[in-house]
Amino acid sequence: MLAHLWIVPLLPLLGSAINGLLGAKWPNKIVNLAAIGSTGLSFLSALEAAREFFGSGQAPFRKEFFTWMTAGNFRAGFDLQVDQLTVEMMLVVTGVGWLIHIYSTGYMAHEGGYYRFFSYLNLFMFFMLILVLAANYVLLFVGWEGVGLSSYLLIGFWFLKKSAADAGKKAFIVNRIGDFGFMLGMFLLFRAFGTLDFQTVFTKAGTWPAEPMGHFGTLTIAGLLLFMGAAGKSAQLPLYVWLPDAMEGPTPVSALIHAATMVTAGVYVVARSHVLFSHSPTAMLVVATVGCATAFFAATIGLVQTDIKKVLAYSTISQLGYMFLACGVGAFTAGIFHLMTHAFFKALLFLAAGSVIHALGGEQEMPKMGGLGKKIRWTYYTMLTATLAIAGVPVFAGFFSKDAILFAAFQSPTGGRILYAFGLLTALLTAFYMFRLIFLTFSGKPRYDEKNVHVHESPWSMLGPLVFLAVLSVIGGWFALPTFYQGPDYFAIFLGPVFGARETAEAGARAAAHSLELLLAGVAVVAATIGFVVAYWLYVSRPRKADQIAQSMKRAYTVLLNKYYVDELYAAAVVRPLLWLSTNVFWKATDVAGIDGTVNGIAHGTATIGDGVRHSQSGNTRSYAVWVVAGAIIVLAAIFLWPSASKIAVGLVH
Amino acid sequence: MVPTNYYVILSAILFGLGVFAFIFKRNVITIFMSIELMLNAVNLAFVAFSQALGKLDGQVFVLFVIVVAAAEAAVGLGIIILIARNRQTLNVERVDLLKL
């Protein structure tokens, strides 16, 4: 399978093409066959590729399938590679993607455009696989832009709804800003290394000296530009604004693209380019700071949101912040570890939320839910599992990855304590808003219209993936379990060859500071417990207390409810000036007055002259006779009276 | 021997008459005849110069002009007959369907 690695991404593309081109009139079952079949086969081939990879003693595999373009000594090819990082990403993408495909067959069963939905979803899988399998920046960028395109198409899936169409555009435009930086970063890398091939770039960059803190050399700037792209794709400050709006898309899309896979592409790129970042403490500090700030910032917004999907969206932004924090303090393994566990539990949270929405016939507002725990038990238990995982309760997956990140942040020499403090605070907030979500949705008295809303458990096509993901949310972090009795962290060892010496050193430090790690893990658990207790107190034992607190801190509450007015700020600072500039300068002045004015002016002038001259064509035959004679006289006069003309005329006569 | 001047002056007078009639007459047939008159005035000049210069070129030209004039007469008279049939008039002032 490794020799024919192209099959893995190509299968979803095939499924997308089949459904997109032929599926319009097909019944759902045949569309399902093409969509689930292609992604399922893709998952199986990914598994087979992984098996061969392990069979070959985990030797990094790289193959150039064909040359895509050459210009001078620049070559960009369809080169795919498999190393430990790729295996992990590839399996997460195809595995979680496949589960979400199955879930979608239940969730989207009654929606119009069924074939279109699966065609887009398969297209997304194709581009995401290209992104993670690519062996050079150019091919990675193809996947990068492709997932952006599929994201746009799927956010605007219900394009007749204006808010959905707008959200799609917003996602695309905000991502363009990041992509601009990403492209500049690629150009800079090409200038510095003469190639964009991962292997060559990283080998060459590895020999360069590290750039000291505050020094803006090539690697620092390239790293920062790449991180700009990553911040756009992975919804970090200040480019996170598109992700909450992206919840306009169907819920499985939010689960697959805006939680589990696409938004983690930024983390993947930073981890993949770890050589560049490791050589630049400045870039690392920026990554860590932005990640930490985003984690905290998004978590505070998540505290007060009432839309169940919005809470999860801000939670996603916050968790992505954790991943960048990990990368920024050099713990790439921890970042990727959290990426994986997050893919499991956040996909599960979204899918369970989708199941709740499905049960209530489309209701997304938590104030209109409540008391669902007994009616939709499977959904409740699976969602509770995911909540325990994200809150960092021991044994569940999120605990291990979050613990690894906080530990790495604590140990970081540059601003480690501050990063750790905010990370810990975020963990507390996370536990609070997640349990708030659970309590508002599943416990208490029903606040929905019990007469008209018929609450029903979702079909097994939806519950199956939920259960499966719930299992993964529990066991997904057990790779790191042995660390708690001073054993090895199997995940770190697995990814070790990718991240090289740096991680080995870190693992050594980790073993040495074992008691410290246990202490920090304990502190994190205490923080999560505080979050849980406060949520329980506010939303279960004293249901009215929450409103009272909101009343007493009205100003802070309003600011949070309005998401710090960031959208409004961007509208005032960026969107409206641009709109004004486009409307008045580019549209009305340049286009209408300048370009159109010139073209229309010429046409108008011609028309005016023609209108004047047409009177000579009177239609009166005799006037034409006069014109003929007058013309003859003028020619004769010119010949005889014009000095030089007469010479020519005489010359002709002679 | 009549001097060439006389022929040329006669030719000019005939041509001038043709032009005058071409512009001021209203009857299509008269206008047509004035065109013939101009052609023949030119023919006269050609012949006169041919004689004066002792070359045959002018006379050859005259033959061509006569042939073209004959063809033109055939076409022109056809048009005039059509006008007379369709418009019931020969007055050019009233053949003005293209007028603004």
DSSP assignment of A408-468 equals HHHH-TTTHHHHHHHHHHHHHHHHHHHHHHHHHHHSSS--S-TTT----PPPHHHHHHHHH
d(CA A96, CA A631): 87
> What is the Cα A266 distance to its own chain's centre?
8
Check whether residue A518 and residue A528 sit in a common domain.
yes
Instruction: Compute the count of residue pairs across chains A and B with CB atoms less than 8 Å apart.
Output: 29
Q: How far apart are CA A390 and CA A137, in angstroms?
A: 32
Mean of the per-residue pLDDT values of chain A: 88
Residue A318: its H or E element: helix A308-328
Mean pLDDT of A611-619: 82
CATH code of the domain made up of B4-88: 1.10.287.3510
Query: Are A576 and A488 in the same domain?
Result: no
Q: Is B91 helix (H, G, I), strand (E, B) or coil?
A: strand
Same domain assignment for residues A348 and A265: yes
pLDDT band at A403 (very low <50, low <70, confident <90, very high): confident
Last residue in a domain, options A552, A575, A609? A552
User: From the CB of residue B66, how many other CB atoms can be counted at a distance below 10 Å?
Assistant: 13
Q: What's the structural domain count of chain A? A: 3
Q: Chain A: nearest CA to B1, how far in angstroms?
A: 26
Residues A534 and A576 in one domain: no
Q: What are phi and psi of A69, to 5 degrees?
A: -150, 150
Average pLDDT over residues A500-516: 64
Contact A625 B23 (CB under 8 A): yes
Residues 6 or more apart whose Cβ sits within 8 Å of residue A216: A282
Q: Is A238 exposed, middle or buried (0-12, 13-18, 19+ CB in 10 A)?
A: middle
Interchain contact A619–B (C-beta under 8 A): yes
What is the Cα gyration radius of chain B? 17
User: Residue A9 domain-assigned?
Assistant: no
pLDDT at A227 over 80: yes
User: Do residues A493 and A574 share a domain?
Assistant: no
- Is residue A190 scored above 60 in pLDDT? yes
Give the residue on A whose Cα is nearest the Cα of B25.
A622
Q: Are A262 and A230 in contact (CB under 8 A)?
A: no
Are A395 and A518 contained in the same domain?
Answer: yes
- Mean pLDDT value across residues A505-530: 77
Among A613, A614, A616, A622, the strongest candidate for a mutation testing the B interface, having the largest count of B CBs within 10 A, is: A622
In this prediction, residues A357-366 reach a mean pLDDT of 85
Confidence bin at A95 (pLDDT 50/70/90): very high
Q: How far apart are CA A548 and CA A371, in angstroms?
A: 22
Same domain, yes or no: A504 and A647: no
Residues 16-45 of chain B whose Cβ lies under 8 A from any Cβ of chain A: 19, 22-23, 26, 31
Provide the domain limits for residue A561: 553-585
pLDDT of residue A384: 92
Does A375 or A339 have the greater pLDDT score?
Answer: A339
In-domain check, residue A324? yes
Q: Which two tokens stand for residue A472?
A: 């993964």
Give yes or no for residue A652 having a pLDDT over 80.
no
Q: Are strands A61-71 and A74-82 parallel, antiparallel or unpaired?
A: antiparallel
Rounded to whole angstroms, the Cα distance separating B20 from A636 reads 17
pLDDT exceeds 90 at position B17: yes
Whether A633 has its CB under 8 Å from any CB of chain B: the answer is no
Report d(CA A23, CA A37) in Å as an integer. Answer: 14
Distance CA A390, CA A350 (A): 12
Residue A59 within a domain: no
Distance CA A185, CA A602 (A): 46
Q: Which of residues 68-87 of B touch A (CB under 8 A)?
A: none
Cβ atoms of A369 and A440 closer than 8 Å: yes
- pLDDT the model gives residue B68: 94
What is the average pLDDT across A150-171?
92
The region of weakest confidence among A394-403, A542-551, A608-617, B69-78 is A542-551
- How many whole angstroms separate alpha carbon A121 and alpha carbon A18? 13
Q: Which chain A residues contact residue B31 at CB under 8 A?
A: 625
Cα separation, A490 vs B28, whole angstroms: 111
Who wins on pLDDT, A273 or A488? A273
Overall average pLDDT of the A234-248 stretch: 90
Query: Does A578 lie in the same domain as A523?
Result: no
Burial class (CB in 10 A: 0-12, 13-18, 19+), A570: middle
Q: Looking at residues A600-625, what average pLDDT do you find?
A: 87
**For residue range A577-606, what is the model confidence (pLDDT) as tens digits?**
999 999 999 999 999 999 999 999 999 999
Q: What is the pLDDT of residue A292?
A: 93
Q: Is residue A119 part of a domain?
A: no
Return the minimum-mean-pLDDT range out of A158-172, A426-440, A553-567.
A553-567
Read off the pLDDT of residues A555-575 as tens digits, 9 standing for 90 and up: 888 888 888 888 888 888 888
Least confident of A136-150, A473-487, B51-65, B66-80: A473-487
Is there a single domain that holds both residue A211 and residue A348? Answer: yes
Biggest CA–CA distance in chain B, Å, is 55
| CA dist B48 → A478, B17, B19, B68 (Å) | 122, 19, 21, 20
Nearest CA among A149, A491, A484, A500 for reference residue A339? A491
pTM for the whole structure = 0.79
Lowest mean pLDDT among A138-152, A168-182, A544-558, B81-95: A544-558
Contact flag B96-A622 (C-beta cutoff 8 Å) = no
ipTM of the complex: 0.83
Place of tokens 């995911």: A386
Residues A445 and A570 occupy one common structural domain? no
A181 pLDDT higher than 70: yes
Query: Does A542 lie in the same domain as A567?
Result: no
Contact call for residues A281 and A288 (beta carbons, < 8 A):
no
A362: number of CA atoms within 13 Å, CB side?
6
Cβ(A323)–Cβ(A340) under 8 Å?
Answer: no
Condensed to tens digits (0 to 9), the pLDDT of residues A55-85 reads: 888 888 888 888 988 888 888 889 999 988 9
pLDDT value at residue A511: 62
Instruction: Report the alpha-carbon angle A296-A300-A303, nearest 5.
Output: 140
Would you state the pLDDT for residue A555?
A: 84
- The pLDDT assigned to A648 comes to 59
Q: What is the DSSP letter of A240?
A: T
pLDDT more than 70, % of chain A = 97
If you average pLDDT over residues A464-471, what whole number do you get?
Answer: 91
CB A97 within 8 A of CB A39: yes
Q: Are residues A567 and A532 located together in one domain of the fold?
A: no
The per-residue pLDDT for A319 is: 93
Is B98 in contact with A617 (Cβ distance < 8 A)? yes
Question: Would you state the pLDDT for residue A646?
Answer: 56
Say yes or no to pLDDT of A105 above 70.
yes
Backbone φ and ψ for A192, nearest 5 degrees, come out as: -80, -35
In a domain, A125, yes or no: no
Confidence check: pLDDT of A650 > 70: no
Does residue A476 belong to any structural domain of this protein? yes
Residue A168 near residue A159 (C-beta atoms within 8 A): yes
Which pLDDT does position A366 carry in this prediction? 85
Does a structural domain hold residue A145? no
Calculate the alpha carbon distances from A558 to A302, A526, A538, A562, A572 in Å: 13, 29, 18, 6, 19
Q: Which helix (H) or strand (E) holds A71?
A: strand A61-71
Q: Which of A611, A618, A620, A627 to mutate to test the interface with B (most CBs of B within 10 A)?
A: A620
Domain boundaries, chain B: 4-88
| A654 and chain B in contact, CB less than 8 A | no
Res A385: pLDDT: 93
Q: How far is CA B71 from CA B62, B64, B77, B78, in A?
A: 14, 11, 10, 11
Residue A575 domain-assigned? yes
